[in-house]
């Protein structure tokens, strides 16, 4: 293979994840209509979704035993996420409440999506979390505020569904988030959002934190390290 062919192949391999000004990019694939929220990755809705892999710890090191996958779709009204999270043991909050949001859910096993539409003030974005038990919390993050965790009082209107497959040692968490809670624009192919994706597993003494884009910090809240989410037709 000559040098030109090798260069072309390398470009094509990177094209799916290196768009939007050089930032790594994942895709949410369009669905013509909304569907009941489900956690079955084999249903017709999920196989054609865009996929992000969670493979690194917060410092960028590989964590093959604690990886994860996120599938993403969009409709005219909503963004959908399906987190697929293999686990060894679960660290769950006792007496879960799935009827209202759970503040400080991040202290337990969770999957998280940080999403922003403001490219001028990157310290403003939204945070969405789901637990293996179907608990949830959403936050309006403003890092200009020293107590940005107070943003949990905001309500996006998100819906969630979760399932634990104890035989396979995998838990699934699905989110449906109103697009209007994230972006002032109508949902449309070509829209680009700022995003990072995470999952956390285990108690504080043995915590594993896995990222799509490693924040290179002990905190997930490093917006400079976010990548891009592109809304595409297919």
Give the tens place of pLDDT for each residue, 125-176.
999 999 999 999 999 999 999 888 889 999 999 999 999 999 999 999 999 9
One CATH from 1.10.274.100, 3.90.1150.10, 2.60.40.1190, 3.20.20.100 for 16-232: 2.60.40.1190
Helix (H, G, I), strand (E, B) or coil at 227: strand
Place of tokens 């999270």: 85
Model pLDDT, residue 65: 84
Give domain limits for the chain.
16-232
Element (DSSP H or E) covering residue 3:
helix 3-15
Cα–Cα distance measured from residue 125 to residue 118, given in angstroms and rounded to the nearest whole number: 7
**pLDDT, tens only, 204-233:** 999 999 999 999 999 999 999 999 999 999
Cα–Cα distance measured from residue 221 to residue 226, given in angstroms and rounded to the nearest whole number: 9
The answer to whether 194 and 119 have CB atoms below 8 angstroms apart is yes
215: which strand partners?
A: none
Residue 140: partners with Cβ closer than 8 Å, 6 or more residues away: 126, 151, 154
């Amino acid at each position: 293979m000559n040098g030109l062919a090798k260069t072309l192949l390398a470009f094509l391999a990177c094209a799916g994840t290196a768009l939007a000004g050089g930032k790594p990019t994942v895709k949410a694939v369009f669905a013509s209509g909304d569907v009941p929220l489900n956690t079955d990755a084999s249903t017709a809705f999920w196989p054609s979704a865009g996929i992000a892999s969670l493979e690194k710890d917060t410092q960028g090191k590989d964590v093959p035993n604690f990886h994860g996958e996120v599938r993403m779709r969009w409709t005219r009204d909503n963004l959908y996420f399906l987190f697929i999270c293999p686990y060894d043991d679960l660290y769950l909050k006792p007496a879960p409440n799935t009827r209202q949001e759970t503040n400080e859910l991040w202290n337990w096993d969770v999957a998280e999506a940080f999403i922003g539409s403001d490219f001028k003030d990157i310290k403003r974005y939204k945070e969405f979390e789901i637990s293996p038990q179907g608990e949830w919390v959403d936050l309006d993050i403003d890092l200009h505020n020293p107590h940005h965790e107070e943003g949990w009082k905001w309500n996006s209107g998100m819906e969630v569904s979760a399932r634990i497959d104890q035989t396979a040692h995998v838990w699934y968490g699905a989110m449906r988030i109103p697009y209007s809670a994230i972006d002032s624009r109508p949902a449309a192919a070509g829209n680009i959002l700022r995003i990072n994706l995470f999952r956390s597993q285990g108690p504080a003494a043995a915590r594993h934190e896995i990222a799509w884009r490693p924040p290179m910090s002990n905190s997930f809240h490093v917006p400079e390290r976010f990548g891009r989410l592109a809304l595409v037709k297919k």
